[in-house]
């Protein structure tokens, strides 16, 4: 039996491939390399001692997806990361996002449901909750109207999978709603490599400290939070990757109730932007250059997870602290930029 990881050369995908291989799973990766490099295959091999199978492919090509499943008859489980993920770009180019993120999903499912038994894990996002009314956010919190086409593709993606589960007894699926993934593998072989100016807080912090950016702009300090800056749930990418392995094993062992489940994957702890900066300064011993600017449109005030469902049902819990995750993010940045201090 083989597990297909789409987008397996990307940030979360590559960390998940490492954890899958270390848990003994046989992995094949599909990636179109639009936002990742084939070199990541060497890095995964260096960490695990095993080179995963790899097909460079665009999942929007329905015929290619069909041919892949013929060429790899052992694949009966898919972890689907491949997607476009820039919120701002999705507002500018909605059709690109609907095509990339949804047609690929449909083509994969069309092939997978032909199997006797099929298993599917979907990369979803806390973005489906919008500004939730209560903290921490449980899986029962209502899904709010999406703020962007990107967010909408995650909501629609979940609906496509749920509707498929309703009519396919041979198909089992789990959607994992990630909070804010940060950090890098302790080997510093793999980590986050944003193209262009990072939109996310942590890579912006580490790039600023490494000298690539002049200063970090903190988007607003007038939010109704203790220090006025927004609060998020930052989870170490290795913890997040491990959640995929336990979710997959739950599917393979047929432990699920019903054939569709949703889990929040976060730490359960909220940290403000200023707390993240303080954590960075603590673990790096460097002062970060930052200034407070106006709010970023579309930002919600607070989002952190109630992780009790994942803790109790999956038996999974995030282990790393914010400091540990920040330290790994900084070690990765230092390595790729050859920063020595």
Contact range with ligand WQD by CB under 6 A, out of 101-109, 124-132, 164-172, 244-252: 124-132
Site string for ligand WQD, 223-262 (x = CB under 6 A): -------x-x------------------------------
Residue 139 sits in the site that holds ligand WQD (CB under 6 A): no
CB-based burial, 104-130: b 16+ in 10 Å, e otherwise:
bbebbbebbeebeebbbbbbbbbbbbb
Q: Who's near 150: CB < 8 A, 6+ residues apart?
A: 84, 85, 86, 87, 89, 90, 97, 101, 127
54-73 residues in contact with ligand WQD (CB under 6 A) are none
CA end-to-end distance (rounded Å), the chain: 46
CB of 264 to ligand WQD, least distance (A): 13
Say how many CA atoms lie within 13 Å of 33 toward its Cβ: 9
Contact range with ligand WQD by CB under 6 A, out of 5-13, 54-62, 111-119, 214-222: 214-222
CB of 210 to ligand WQD, least distance (A): 15
d(CA 326, CA 212) in angstroms, rounded, equals 18
Query: Of 111, 48, 45, nearest to 80 (Cα)?
Result: 111
In this structure, what is the dihedral angle of CA atoms 41, 185, 84, 56, given to the nearest 10 degrees? 10
Site string for ligand WQD, 144-173 (x = CB under 6 A): ------------------------------
**Which residue in 16, 48, 125, 302 binds ligand WQD (CB under 6 A)?**
125
d(CA 90, CA 149) in angstroms, rounded, equals 5
Which residues are the active-site residues? 150
d(CA 250, CA 174) in angstroms, rounded, equals 9
| Contact between 234 and 325 (Cβ < 8 Å) | yes
Q: Which helix (H) or strand (E) holds 119?
A: strand 118-125
Identify any residues that bridge with 178 across adjacent strands, giving them in sequence order. 125, 265
**Which residue in 141, 201, 245, 277 binds ligand WQD (CB under 6 A)?**
201
**Which residue in 35, 180, 307, 331 binds ligand WQD (CB under 6 A)?**
180
Q: Which is nearer to ligand WQD, 201 or 283 (CB)?
A: 201
- Tell me the number of residues near ligand WQD by CB under 6 A: 19
| Contact between 92 and 98 (Cβ < 8 Å) | no
Say how many CA atoms lie within 13 Å of 115 toward its Cβ: 22
**Which residue in 53, 87, 106, 146 binds ligand WQD (CB under 6 A)?**
87
Q: Which is nearer to ligand WQD, 62 or 337 (CB)?
A: 337
Say how many CA atoms lie within 13 Å of 82 toward its Cβ: 27
**Which residue in 93, 103, 193, 219 binds ligand WQD (CB under 6 A)?**
219
**Which residue in 4, 40, 108, 216 binds ligand WQD (CB under 6 A)?**
216
Contact range with ligand WQD by CB under 6 A, out of 67-75, 98-106, 119-127, 315-323: 119-127
**Other beta carbons within 10 Å of 28:** 21
Site string for ligand WQD, 261-290 (x = CB under 6 A): ------------x-----------------
Q: Residues in the site for ligand WQD, rule: CB under 6 A?
A: 85, 87, 125-127, 180, 199-201, 204, 216-219, 230, 232, 273, 296, 299
């Amino acid at each position: 039996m083989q597990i297909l990881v789409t987008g397996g050369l990307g940030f979360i995908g590559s960390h998940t491939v490492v954890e899958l291989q270390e848990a003994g799973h046989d992995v094949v990766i599909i990636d179109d390399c639009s936002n990742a490099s084939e070199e990541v295959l060497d890095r995964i091999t260096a960490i695990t001692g095993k080179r995963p199978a790899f097909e460079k492919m665009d999942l929007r090509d329905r015929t290619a997806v069909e041919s892949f499943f013929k060429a790899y008859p052992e694949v009966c489980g898919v972890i689907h990361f491949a997607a476009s993920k820039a919120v701002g770009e999705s507002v500018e180019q909605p059709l690109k996002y609907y095509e990339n993120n949804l047609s690929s999903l449909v083509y994969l499912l069309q092939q997978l449901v032909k199997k006797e038994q099929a298993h599917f894990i979907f990369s979803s996002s806390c973005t489906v909750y919008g500004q939730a009314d209560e903290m921490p956010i449980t899986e029962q919190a209502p899904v709010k109207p999406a703020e962007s086409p990107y967010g909408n593709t995650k909501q629609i993606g979940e609906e496509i999978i749920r509707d498929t589960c309703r009519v396919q007894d041979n198909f089992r699926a789990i959607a994992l709603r990630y909070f804010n993934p940060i950090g890098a593998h302790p080997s510093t072989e793999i980590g986050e490599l944003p193209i262009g100016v990072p939109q996310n807080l942590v890579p912006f912090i580490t790039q600023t400290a490494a000298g690539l950016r002049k200063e970090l702009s903190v988007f607003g300090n007038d939010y109704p939070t203790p220090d006025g800056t927004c609060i998020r749930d930052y989870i170490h990418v290795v913890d997040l990757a491990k959640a995929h392995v336990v979710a997959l094993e739950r599917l393979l062992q047929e432990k699920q109730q019903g054939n569709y489940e949703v889990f929040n994957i976060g730490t359960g702890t909220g940290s403000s932007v200023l707390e993240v900066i303080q954590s960075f300064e603590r673990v790096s011993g460097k002062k970060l250059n930052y200034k407070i600017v106006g709010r970023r449109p579309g930002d919600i005030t607070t989002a952190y997870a109630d992780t009790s469902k994942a803790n109790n049902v999956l038996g999974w819990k995030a282990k790393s602290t914010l400091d540990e995750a920040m330290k790994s993010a900084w070690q990765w940045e230092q390595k790729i930029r050859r920063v020595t201090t």
